[in-house]
Amino acid sequence: MTKKIKKVFFIITMGIMLISLMTACISQPTRQYDKNIFALDTIVTLRVFGDRSAKKAMDRVADRIKEIERHMSPSLEGSDVIKINQAAGVEPAQVHEDTFYVIKKALEYGRLTEGVFDITIQPIVELWGINTEHAKIPSEEEIEEKIALVDYRKVRMNEEKRTIFLEEKGMGIDLGAIAKGYAADEAVRILKEAGVEHALLNLGGNVITIGRRPDGNSWRIGLQDPRTEETGQDHFGIIDVADATVVSSGDYERYIKDVYKKTGERYHHIFDPRSGFPAQKGLIACSIITSSSIDADALSTILFIMGHEQGFELIDQLGSAEAIVVTSNKEIYTTEGLRDSIISSNDYYRIVD
């Protein structure tokens, strides 16, 4: 009898141990994988949830972003952008499919906004040199000379040969306002194709979410307070999203620090292609919330340059995005669809209905 009991006891114990071992090995648990890479002149943070295949997909995303950077960088030797700019006024340059697609999309936004969004802004960007050691306020003459070279209608595309030609010598393109958006869309495509259901990506401040958080809640995204040194707050608002991208633009990140210290004026990096000066339409920050990152990237720049009223008109007309702006009077305006979903987290700003 004792032997029988012992045997039963032994079998049960071993059984429990075996089962727990097996479940630990077989069911690949949902894990969180993180990766930070420096690319596209910014920092990219990837957070992906899933099993090992999710991690592999995350590594492919990192490679893909670096590939896009090699094609669209304004500074990496041999990039399509450098090739196009060097051949300006001389001959068409053949480019990768990625670059061709992004330029095509950028020119569509150029036409839609009649030049508010203009990738041929490069000569102006270079002249001001914001965030470089030679940043300065240029003279009127210098700006006049360079603004004459800014015109998106002088970019010629040849679909068959996949070439881009800038009609005049001295012209140049800068894809800084749209390349990150394209990279984000590619990242989402790769992750979704690999079956990833939950991910949080940040490409230099552009936030992209796939699905919801693994716990089923929406992702909670803070909107960067543009005057954090005055308010002591991190965010001017908070928004809960799922399967969406949140892209912000503003005057607070890149501006000429020396001039700001002396005069309090912010000469920032978002230029109005019509004036050659930093956009001055009463906004200090704005955000776009939508599903396509390339659209969000372009639209946030457009909204910042157009200002609140004209910008909201365009976004309403498009009907596919929501927006929020912070004015220099410390007022917050949102599009209709966002009115109830923005969480105020900061008394410094007033939400206007």
Partner 1 sequence: MGIGIKGKKLKIGDVLVYIFIVLLTGLSFMGLKIMAGQGDEVLVQIELNGRALESIKMRQNWAEDFREIRVDTGQGGYNTIRISSEGVDIVDANCPDKLCVHSPTIKVPGQSIVCIPHKLMVRIIGNSQVDNAVDDTAS
Asked if residue 106 binds partner 1 (CB under 8 A), the reply is no
The correct pick among 108, 114, 234, 265 for binding partner 1 (CB under 8 A) is 234
Query: Which residues does 258 contact at the CB level (< 8 Å), separation at least 6?
Result: 135
Using rule CB under 8 A, residue 347 touches partner 1 = no
Nearest to 172 by CA among 39, 80, 278, 76: 80
**End-to-end Cα, the chain, rounded Å:** 82
CA distances from 334 to 101, 311, 343 (A): 31, 11, 12
Q: How far apart are CA 221 and CA 208, in angstroms?
A: 10
Contact partners, residue 107, CB within 8 Å, separation at least 6: 119, 152, 155, 157
Q: Which amino acid is at 278?
A: P
68 counts as binding partner 1 under rule CB under 8 A: no
Out of 167, 331, 345, 348, name the contact with partner 1 by CB under 8 A. 345
Q: Does 30 bind partner 1 (CB under 8 A)?
A: no
User: Among candidates 97, 93, 75, which has minimal Cα distance to 156?
Assistant: 93
Residues numbered 279-338 forming contacts with partner 1, rule: CB under 8 A = 287
Angle between helices 97-112 and 293-306 (to 10 degrees): 40
x/- track of binding to partner 1 for residues 239-278 (CB under 8 A): -------xxx-x--x---x---------------------
At closest approach, how far in Å is the CB of 245 from partner 1?
Answer: 9
Restricting to residues 36-65, which ones interact with partner 1 according to CB under 8 A?
36-38, 41-43
Among 96, 235, 281, 330, binds partner 1 (CB under 8 A): 235
In this structure, are residues 338 and 289 in contact, taking their beta carbons and an 8 Å threshold?
yes
Among 48, 102, 223, 284, binds partner 1 (CB under 8 A): 223
Give the Cα-Cα-Cα angle 346, 350, 353 (nearest 5 degrees).
130
Give yes or no for residue 31 binding partner 1 (CB under 8 A). Answer: no
Give the shortest CB-278-to-partner 1 separation in angstroms: 17
Distance in Å, CB of 341 to partner 1, minimum = 14
Residue 247 Cβ, how far from partner 1 at the closest point, in Å? 7
Which region among 1-9, 153-161, 185-193, 266-274 touches partner 1 (by CB under 8 A)? 1-9
- Least gap, CB of 254 to partner 1 (angstroms): 8
How distant, in Å, are the alpha carbons of 178, 237, 239, 325 from that of 345?
29, 5, 10, 15
Total chain residues near partner 1 (CB under 8 A): 41
- Verify binding: residue 163, partner 1, rule CB under 8 A: no
Q: Is 128:254 a contact under the CB 8 Å cutoff?
A: no
Q: By three-state DSSP, how is residue 341 classified? A: coil
Kindly list the residues in this chain that would bind partner 1 in the complex (CB under 8 A). 1-2, 5-6, 9, 13, 35-38, 41-43, 131-133, 200, 202, 205-207, 213, 219-224, 228-229, 234-235, 238, 246-248, 250, 253, 257, 287, 345
